[in-house]
Structure 1
């Protein structure tokens, strides 16, 4: 198939790896952008797949699309990475570039969990007081909990990266309050960690099965520990899907005409 230009897939999650694997099988030219060098090894090696590392701002998005003659954009970024999604949607709309959001399936709400719209509602409330809290919310959110270190015992689980460790330390977490692990985390390990630290409250994000939300809900129920789930940010996408078949159809449509 001889085509001009490329698809641009915004990656960095396990979902995006599966999408790229499928696109590679169809031999469609695709540029994948990720934010860390460790993510590169997760993607398939294929003559039609190019991978670039780095965070993009508005000007970077513009230059990338011009340089690669981007024919269509597949946004498979993390559900909480709203900045890149907002910027790309705005640019795609202005330039008339087809855009499709891949949204990982949400889990059915657990009747025993507490669902909050944002971190602000959590830190301003009284949910954390005098608790032993495990935060599985990503390193960027840890600074929001600085004011709580005097009133509760906080533990943070982060990715095993130097930048993540620095952010946790800067947010007031001591070395013995940090554990660095790369997902996926098994149910057995999840349970053991909660028991080791005598956790009696867990905070996570609504990141779906891919983010281990289902396992945390199961362990919370087993150990009778409250689970607070921060809901995904609400964005209006021009079009979105949870289906792989829709992604491939979109890819072919981008090269028509």
Structure 2
């Protein structure tokens, strides 16, 4: 039985799979119709328990792609990974081209620009778009500020050289690997907070004020990542927002409509 490979780990992938399971016939003797890949064990809990689903945890490498394709008899790929998870998207695109498989990327929409610009408490431009992480690290963006990083724990190692030159704080997921990574990167316990999104505006505000944050480093990850809320709070509190832009990837086929992605999934799960 051919199967759909669904690259998950996001809120949208959970929403789609919940709808997908309701529309698939149950109890097929030929096994699951959809293989979902996620990178962490906690992400497994995003999805319902169903005989139609198989969930594989771990980062799929190029060397493993051939075995993965043959083992699961992949017929099509639906990519609902995070906008900044470029490695798995590039692997999936190459995989689809090599084996001539149908591929669809669901890309969450960008958050609209704020209706008006603002200045921070130092009268600097409030919204600063940074093209990529390296640009942030090779500039003077971080000196002299109390900076909160909301980039995810995997990026924290890049800030090790700045620990002696800047005042850095980080918000991470409440997991042992995230905490260990942050501590190894030089963040002391009093400059860390472990929270799982979504985070209320009230809690976000209290955190920024408690740490006396002067600027936030975030990603243009869309509304599910809290991008719109950060823009609103930064403008209200006079905080500078350094927003790292999404990587540019040429997807073979792309949609921002979850219904379109669901119809693609149904076509290849059946």
Contact 2:3 / 2:268 at 8 angstroms: preserved in 1? no
Question: What is the TM-score of this pair, normalised by structure 2?
Answer: 0.89
Residue 147 (str. 1) matches residue 161 (str. 2) = yes
In structure 2, C-alpha distance between the alignment counterparts of 1:101 and 1:62, rounded to whole Å: 21
**Partner residue of 2:263?**
249
For residue 197 of structure 1, what is the aligned residue in structure 2?
A: 211
User: Once the two structures are superposed, what CA deviation does each residue of 1:161-215 show, in whole Å capped at 9, x if it has no partner?
Assistant: 1111111112111111111111110111100000010101110011111001111
Residue of structure 1 equivalent to 2:67: 63
Q: Match of 1:227?
A: 241
Q: Which has the higher contact order (CA 8 A, sep 6+)?
A: 2
How many residue pairs get aligned? The number is 253
Displacement of 1:50 after TM fit?
A: 1.6
Does residue 80 of the first structure (1) align with residue 84 of the second (2)?
A: yes
Query: How far does the alpha carbon of each residue in 1:10-51 deviate from its partner, in whole angstroms, 9 at most, with x for none?
Result: 111111101111221221721111111111122112221221
| 187-196 or 137-146, which deviates more | 137-146
Q: 1:236 aligns with which of 250, 257, 266?
A: 250
- Mapping 1:113-192, distance limit 5 Å: 113-192=127-206
Residues 7 and 30 in structure 1, CA contact (< 8 A), matched pair in contact too: yes
Deviates more, 1:164-173 or 1:247-256: 247-256
> How many angstroms apart in 2 are the aligned matches of 1:87 and 1:39?
20
Give 1:254 shift. Answer: 3.5
Partner of 1:27: 24
Q: Quote how far apart the aligned CAs of 1:64 are.
A: 1.7
Give the superposed CA RMSD: 1.5
1:36 equivalent among 37, 40, 62: 40
Q: Distance in 1 between matches of 2:222 and 2:181?
A: 24
* Pair 1:147–1:255, CA change in 2 (3 A): closer
Question: C-alpha displacement at 1:255, in angstroms?
Answer: 6.4
TM superposition shift of 1:253: 4.1
Unaligned runs of 5+ in 1: none
Question: Which whole-Å CA distance do the structure 1 matches of 2:214 and 2:265 have between them?
Answer: 46
| 2-structure distance, mates of 1:73, 1:146 | 37
User: Which residue number in structure 2 is paired with residue 10 of structure 1?
Assistant: 7
